[in-house]
Amino acid sequence: MDLPWIGFGTWVDLQEGERPEIMTSLVTEALRVGYRSFDTAENYFTEPYVIRALLNSQLPRDQYFLTSKSDLPPDLNQLKARTNEIGYFDLFLLHGPPLDPTNFKTVLTQYWINMNKLLASGRVRQIGVSNFYLNELSTLLEICSEFNLVPPAVNQLEVHPFNWEADLVQFCQSNNILVTAHSPLAGMASPLLLTSEPVQRVAQRIGSSSAQAVLASTLSRGIVVIPKSQRVNRMRENLDSLTFVDEITPQDQVTLRSLDAGFPLLERSSAAKQFDQTLNGV
């Protein structure tokens, strides 16, 4: 199964008291609404609950797409334990680059050799990265060429009108790396984004909600989106963004890009990009 254009994000805000186990019921609702792609991670603590809901659905394994990620490549026994019931991850991501400039390339090389071993095991079907920026990603592609390794199929990034990432998206796409936008509605800044005049102007023109206008504009750039919601009506609204993609014009993109602040908002994304700017052909 190919990665669907809209997936369901399963991060929870532990500091705000959200509980990982809520994902069993939320993923069940998302499946009912029509989602078939689910994004989780080891440090979200939701992975077991997402898997439980998928298994409870009794859908054939090839009828849904499951992405997970880890900060460090797990060893094969750890991966087998995580996929024991589900069989495999359709996509497995290195959650971020090793943030050590003194031996960045050496450590990343070992990480990516290990990621390739996971791919060879059959317990993951594709491998990719998350929160890799231009220098980090360029170094990884050099490693793949040098050591004859499978390159990343996906780079999962923070992309939304406040953080457009035009150069990085173009670089990924020119290197056959699919971009997936996490936090596509700007996370905690979502209320500010969705009430902004440019977003409301585009939404009014195409006859959509503000969230649908933002998601449709990102989709029209050839970028997968994985919004999250705990409300069924919002789940449906986000999924229906696909119907507005063809309505987005180049002028709409110019309008929305006017909001670009040029830097990610989330702490993990921001740290990776700041580190990336310290690298100069490491």
| CATH assignment of the domain containing 177 | 3.20.20.100
Global pTM value: 0.96
pLDDT of 249 strictly over 80? yes
| Residue 2 within any structural domain of the chain | no
Written as six digits, the tokens of 251 are 């002028």
| Residue 137 within any structural domain of the chain | yes
Q: What percent of the chain has pLDDT over 70?
A: 99
Confidence of residue 280 (pLDDT cuts 50, 70, 90): confident
Confidence of residue 265 (pLDDT cuts 50, 70, 90): very high
| Residue 1 within any structural domain of the chain | no
| Residue 33 within any structural domain of the chain | yes
Number of H helices, E strands in the chain: 12, 8
Tell me the mean pLDDT in the region 29-44. Answer: 97
Confidence of residue 217 (pLDDT cuts 50, 70, 90): very high
| Residue 232 within any structural domain of the chain | yes
Which domain range does residue 128 map to?
8-276
Residue with tokens 């849904």: 64
Q: Which is it for the CA torsion 212, 129, 150, 36, positive or negative?
A: negative
Give long-range contacts, CB 8 A cutoff, 24+ apart: 195-199.
196/161, 196/259, 198/161, 198/255, 198/256, 198/258, 198/259, 199/161, 199/256, 199/259
Catalytic residue among 44, 49, 64, 111: 44
| Residue 184 within any structural domain of the chain | yes
What pLDDT shows up at residue 101?
Answer: 84
- DSSP-assigned letters across all residues of 64-85: SEEEEEESSPPPHHHHHHHTTT
- The answer to whether 111 is a known catalytic residue is no
| Residue 89 within any structural domain of the chain | yes
Measured from the Cβ of residue 122, the count of other Cβ atoms closer than 10 Å reads: 10
Domains in the chain: how many in total?
1
| Residue 165 within any structural domain of the chain | yes
13 secondary structure, DSSP code: -
Residue pLDDT, tens place only, 172-187:
999 999 999 999 999 9
Measured from the Cβ of residue 258, the count of other Cβ atoms closer than 10 Å reads: 12
Q: Are 41 and 47 in contact, with CB atoms under 8 Å apart?
A: yes
What pLDDT shows up at residue 282?
Answer: 44
